[in-house]
Chains A and B, each alone.
Chain A
Amino acid sequence: MRIVIIGNGVAGMEAALTVRKRQPDWPITVISEESDHFFSRTALMWVFSGQMSHKDIEPLERDAYDRLKLTRVRARATRVDVEAKEVRLAGGLRPVPYDRLLIACGSRPRPGPWPGSDMAGVGHFVTLQDLAWYEREVHGGAGHGGEPPNPDAHLRATTEDSPYRFREVAAVRRGRPAQRPAVIGGGLIGIEAIEVAVAAGLRPHFFIREEWFWPIALEPREATWIADRMREHGVEVHLEHDVQSIDGGTDGAVTSVTTNHGTHDADCVVISIGVVPNTEWLAGSDIEVDPRGGIPVDERLATSASDVFSAGDCASVRWFDQSLRPEQLWYTSRDQGRVAGLGLLGDTARYTRGIWYNSAKLMDIEYTTVGLVNWNVEREQNWYYEETGDVRSTTRIVVQGDRVVGFNLLGRRWDHTVLIRWLEERRPLSWVLEHLNEARFDTEFVPRLQVPLGATALEGPAPNPVIPGPTTVPF
């Protein structure tokens, strides 16, 4: 059985490992345009700052492909021929035939809709090639961690519209590194691009269209804490700034960003307004793609074409609220990769996603969320507590009727598995407050959270301009 996997990100590699574990002799081919080695995309920011090397962010040792007998093809897939059962490649390379195929090609950065978004000095922070571009703009080049192996091997077999093309470096044109970067888009990649610029000793602009930072996840008080932290580090946080254009000088390199509040100097711009499924190359492949660009899959992660599976950021999966859309998270991609791997083996494994949870780190403030938060359900109420003193944290518990339906937690560490259990057990707020410290995952010597049991006043729904939600609790 010939297995072909497009993409050697976490979904693709987990699938490959799953197949290899059971079938030591099946030929497995992994096609990747971006890199020779599987790496952790979430860790690009640390390579930029110099906290880790390229090798450090690779979860497998570099001999893993040889040891596991995985054939690597470094090229851009341009089409899947579902009749002939083969994957076409750019660069005049021979098509790769398959018996079972997994499409795990991930996301690409959402392009900027503004004039000037393609100028030298404007880029993203999603791919390895984006990292190389941003490092050159700010640092003038890579650190002692060096470059990944074969950084430009893909250029022989790629197309002009690829997200893995190198972008033009304005710093080279200008003859000096960027002094005043700007980041457009207040989400997780945006704050990463900000943090690394701060670590490089710069004072970046941060243009956020919404009323506060990351409204999809935070409410105003929480977002203000993060924004204050950024400002302490010299970040110019511009809220409610709608970008109108990115402007360049006579040399064609970026010089400023114009918003509805005027023009701001900037010599390097990172556009981080989200990611979209990296699937436009599938046009004409007879595999269904939904209007958002995701590849709809059933619970086995099978696509509309026979023997073709899809997993990770590019697949539209069934969410716990029954909607069908991509789940762009590291660990869901990993789990989907394992299920897809079982599918490639011919098993009928099912992918089911329980209650939503996620975590992040915003500057030095850790964030954990579980369940329905900012869902904007009409009857949703919030219990909010701000801990001040040596340990600073915020605790927001979302309540509907007499049961707790969500947690939004900043500053401390929490065990999401305990919180999920409580949601499933339909615990009331009073019970949760009494037991809250049992879900703590703080490091040793961090004192317990003193929960003010008396003050349990609930507030109405947090105002939110972004997400309208369903009216019933889906679990």
Chain B
Amino acid sequence: MDQQGQNGLLSTYREGWRNRSWLGIAISASLIIFYCFLYWEGNFKGVIGSEPLKGLSESLGLRNKWYLYGFLYTVAITGGAIYYLKRHGNSRYNRLRISVNVVIQLALGFSLPFIMPLFGGKEMYFSYFWPLKYDYLYPNTLADLPLYFALYTIVGSLIAAPLLAVFFGKRWYCSWICGCGGLANTFGDPWRHLTSKSTKSWKFEQFSIHIVLFVAVATTFLIGLDSVIGDEHPTFHYVVSGGSWSVKAFYGFVVGAVLAGVVGTGLYPLLGPRAWCRNFCPMAAILGWVQKVGRYRIRVKPDMCISCGNCSSYCEMGIDVRSYAQSNESFTRASCVGCGMCAHMCPRGVLKLENAWDTADDKDRQKLSVVNF
């Protein structure tokens, strides 16, 4: 039967692997080791004598280890989705959203990039945009792509993604389409309560995410400039994209591998599943700005909140939803990815995600409580 709220009680804090017990730490360590091999096993070859992931991919007949990673990623999303829907599938919003995550991953995240080269095409991930997929606006990437794909990337990154966020909030991307978000909301869901709700973590997030955004824009700009003047200025070219210590390589290493992979995913069992999205993702930073001025918001039904804390506890972005709910304040936070879990967990139906501009009526509603400060 369809219901909107949580069905049955969760036993989250009675399961050690979800609460930073030794088992949780072991899961985290395994993920980190996996990512280190995925990114840098070539560098370890001298020490361990082989490249296990490359070897495994070849023995499975895959073109390279990234297809193996894509396959494992898809398995993790599908398995996590089954786990998630078993617990939260009684809500239509959850069912639809998670199903779309799985379909997008199967089609755009795995099958299409696998099939396209078989027909002589270039592999392309249609579900990722700049600046998350940071090299999709690099001039030589665009030059390599067929014209339509290049246009898709440019229009998608610079126009379509922000425009959709005006009308639907960043959730259309972050919790419905994006592969990182898809993994966080399925495979990462068991740890969603671990995201820190402290004021300090909120301050850190506002600082760090904008630093990464700045670095992402600057890197893209420098690489663009390099394609114009790099030939005449070999030193500039060397610093920006030439060597293995160039700006381009540095961004790929720090942001692409360490922050998105090792920290973002490897630390799921310790930091919660959205550490990357919340603190570092440059695309989330842009869509967050747009969301603040757009239609999306979480509406609070006045004077019904019992301050139980289910909404805040299960917010994967570390938003203290309760603080808004108990002060009758409908709100939009830049970081909110619209997963809908606060509304789903609320035992009094106080919260509702919606795409609507504020009306005068909404402002009146907030005055209904007996005393307002």
Is the Cβ of B91 less than 8 Å from the Cβ of A443? yes
The smallest C-beta distance from B303 to any residue of chain A, in angstroms, reads 5
Chain B residues lying within 8 Å of A378, measured Cβ to Cβ, are: none
Contact indicator per residue, chain A 13-25, by CB within 8 Å of chain B (1) or not (0):
0000010010000
Name B310's contact: one of A21, A46, A59, A368 (CB within 8 Å).
Answer: A46
Q: Is A58 an interface residue (CB 8 A)?
A: yes
The smallest C-beta distance from A440 to any residue of chain B, in angstroms, reads 10
Q: Is B19 an interface residue (CB 8 A)?
A: yes
A43 to B348 alpha-carbon distance, docked (Å):
12
Contact indicator per residue, chain A 318-342, by CB within 8 Å of chain B (1) or not (0):
0000000000001100110011001
Chain B residues lying within 8 Å of A58, measured Cβ to Cβ, are: 309
Is the Cβ of A56 less than 8 Å from the Cβ of B303? no
Chain A residues lying within 8 Å of B133, measured Cβ to Cβ, are: none
Q: Is A364 an interface residue (CB 8 A)?
A: yes
Chain A residues lying within 8 Å of B193, measured Cβ to Cβ, are: 52, 56
Is the Cβ of B301 less than 8 Å from the Cβ of A441? yes
Chain B residues lying within 8 Å of A361, measured Cβ to Cβ, are: 5, 347-348
Nearest A residue to B370 via CB reads A335
Is the Cβ of A331 less than 8 Å from the Cβ of B3? no
Is the Cβ of A446 less than 8 Å from the Cβ of B13? no
Is the Cβ of B304 less than 8 Å from the Cβ of A331? yes
Is the Cβ of A366 less than 8 Å from the Cβ of B349? yes
Is the Cβ of A53 less than 8 Å from the Cβ of B306? no
Contact indicator per residue, chain A 55-79, by CB within 8 Å of chain B (1) or not (0):
0111101000000000000000000
Q: Is B371 an interface residue (CB 8 A)?
A: yes
Is the Cβ of B10 less than 8 Å from the Cβ of A338? no
Q: Is B231 an interface residue (CB 8 A)?
A: no
- Contacting A at CB under 8 A, from B6-23, are 6-16, 19, 21
Is the Cβ of A338 less than 8 Å from the Cβ of B11? no
A51 and B9 contact, Cβ closer than 8 Å, known pairs A43-B306, A413-B349: yes
A51 and B4 contact, Cβ closer than 8 Å, known pairs A364-B90, A417-B301: no
Chain A residues lying within 8 Å of B313, measured Cβ to Cβ, are: 51-53, 56
Q: Is A209 an interface residue (CB 8 A)?
A: no
A445 and B93 contact, Cβ closer than 8 Å, known pairs A43-B306, A361-B347, A361-B348: yes
Is the Cβ of B368 less than 8 Å from the Cβ of A417? yes
Is the Cβ of B2 less than 8 Å from the Cβ of A443? no
Q: Is B353 an interface residue (CB 8 A)?
A: yes
Specify which of A143, A144, A233, A368 lies most central, judged by the most chain B CB atoms within 10 Å of its CB. Answer: A144
The smallest C-beta distance from A88 to any residue of chain B, in angstroms, reads 31
Is the Cβ of B14 less than 8 Å from the Cβ of A42? no
Chain B residues lying within 8 Å of A360, measured Cβ to Cβ, are: 348
Is the Cβ of A50 less than 8 Å from the Cβ of B371? no
Contact indicator per residue, chain B 73-110, by CB within 8 Å of chain A (1) or not (0):
00000000000000000111100100000000000000
Q: How large is the interface on B (under 10, 10 to 19, 20 to 34, 35 or more residues)?
A: 35 or more
Q: Could you count the A-B residue pairs with CB atoms below 8 Å apart for me: how many are there?
A: 168
Nearest A residue to B94 via CB reads A443
A49 and B9 contact, Cβ closer than 8 Å, known pairs A342-B371, A444-B93: yes
A330 to B305 alpha-carbon distance, docked (Å):
8
Chain A residues lying within 8 Å of B90, measured Cβ to Cβ, are: 364
A444 to B302 alpha-carbon distance, docked (Å):
19
Name B349's contact: one of A18, A59, A61, A359 (CB within 8 Å).
Answer: A359
A56 to B371 alpha-carbon distance, docked (Å):
26
Is the Cβ of B304 less than 8 Å from the Cβ of A416? yes
Chain A residues lying within 8 Å of B91, measured Cβ to Cβ, are: 443
- Contacting B at CB under 8 A, from A331-379, are 331, 334-335, 338-339, 342, 349, 351-352, 357, 359-361, 364-366, 368
Is the Cβ of A40 less than 8 Å from the Cβ of B308? yes
A57 and B308 contact, Cβ closer than 8 Å, known pairs A392-B1, A443-B340: yes
- Contacting B at CB under 8 A, from A396-447, are 411-417, 441-446
Q: Is A45 an interface residue (CB 8 A)?
A: yes
Q: Is B140 an interface residue (CB 8 A)?
A: no
The smallest C-beta distance from A389 to any residue of chain B, in angstroms, reads 9
Is the Cβ of A443 less than 8 Å from the Cβ of B13? no
Is the Cβ of A50 less than 8 Å from the Cβ of B353? no
Is the Cβ of A443 less than 8 Å from the Cβ of B4? yes
Name A330's contact: one of B12, B306, B323, B353 (CB within 8 Å).
Answer: B306
Q: Is A390 an interface residue (CB 8 A)?
A: yes
The smallest C-beta distance from B197 to any residue of chain A, in angstroms, reads 9
A338 to B370 alpha-carbon distance, docked (Å):
8
Q: Is A153 an interface residue (CB 8 A)?
A: no
Q: Is B210 an interface residue (CB 8 A)?
A: no
Contact indicator per residue, chain B 6-45, by CB within 8 Å of chain A (1) or not (0):
1111111111100101000000000000000000000000
Is the Cβ of A21 less than 8 Å from the Cβ of B373? yes
Q: Is B365 an interface residue (CB 8 A)?
A: yes
Chain B residues lying within 8 Å of A283, measured Cβ to Cβ, are: none
Nearest A residue to B96 via CB reads A445
A52 to B309 alpha-carbon distance, docked (Å):
8
The smallest C-beta distance from B299 to any residue of chain A, in angstroms, reads 8
A40 and B307 contact, Cβ closer than 8 Å, known pairs A352-B370, A391-B2: yes
Chain A residues lying within 8 Å of B307, measured Cβ to Cβ, are: 10, 40, 42-43, 59, 330, 334
Q: Is A110 an interface residue (CB 8 A)?
A: no
Q: Is B227 an interface residue (CB 8 A)?
A: no
A56 and B312 contact, Cβ closer than 8 Å, known pairs A199-B9, A445-B93: yes
Name A43's contact: one of B11, B15, B308, B343 (CB within 8 Å).
Answer: B308
Nearest B residue to A59 via CB reads B307
Contact indicator per residue, chain A 130-143, by CB within 8 Å of chain B (1) or not (0):
00000000010001
Nearest A residue to B199 via CB reads A61
Nearest A residue to B312 via CB reads A56
A196 and B9 contact, Cβ closer than 8 Å, known pairs A50-B14, A443-B4: yes
Q: Is B192 an interface residue (CB 8 A)?
A: no
A59 and B4 contact, Cβ closer than 8 Å, known pairs A335-B369, A443-B344: no
Nearest B residue to A443 via CB reads B4
Chain A residues lying within 8 Å of B373, measured Cβ to Cβ, are: 18, 21
A42 and B349 contact, Cβ closer than 8 Å, known pairs A59-B322, A143-B13, A443-B340: no
Is the Cβ of A40 less than 8 Å from the Cβ of B306? yes
Chain A residues lying within 8 Å of B371, measured Cβ to Cβ, are: 18, 335, 338-339, 342, 349
Is the Cβ of A444 less than 8 Å from the Cβ of B354? yes
Chain B residues lying within 8 Å of A61, measured Cβ to Cβ, are: 198-199
Is the Cβ of B309 less than 8 Å from the Cβ of A56? yes
Q: Is A149 an interface residue (CB 8 A)?
A: no
Name B309's contact: one of A40, A334, A413, A441 (CB within 8 Å).
Answer: A40
A33 to B199 alpha-carbon distance, docked (Å):
29
Is the Cβ of B12 less than 8 Å from the Cβ of A51? yes
- Contacting B at CB under 8 A, from A427-475, are 441-446
Q: Is A284 an interface residue (CB 8 A)?
A: no
Is the Cβ of A390 less than 8 Å from the Cβ of B2? yes
Is the Cβ of B92 less than 8 Å from the Cβ of A445? yes
The smallest C-beta distance from A369 to any residue of chain B, in angstroms, reads 12
16 pairs, CB–CB < 8 Å, chain A vs chain B: A10-B307, A49-B14, A52-B310, A56-B312, A143-B14, A330-B307, A331-B305, A338-B370, A359-B304, A360-B348, A366-B347, A368-B349, A417-B303, A441-B301, A442-B4, A444-B92
Beyond A50-B10, A446-B2, 6 extra complex contacts between A and B, CB < 8 Å: A56-B313, A195-B9, A335-B303, A413-B352, A417-B365, A444-B354
The 8 tightest CB contacts between A and B, nearest first, are A50-B14, A413-B349, A43-B308, A49-B9, A145-B13, A199-B9, A143-B14, A144-B19
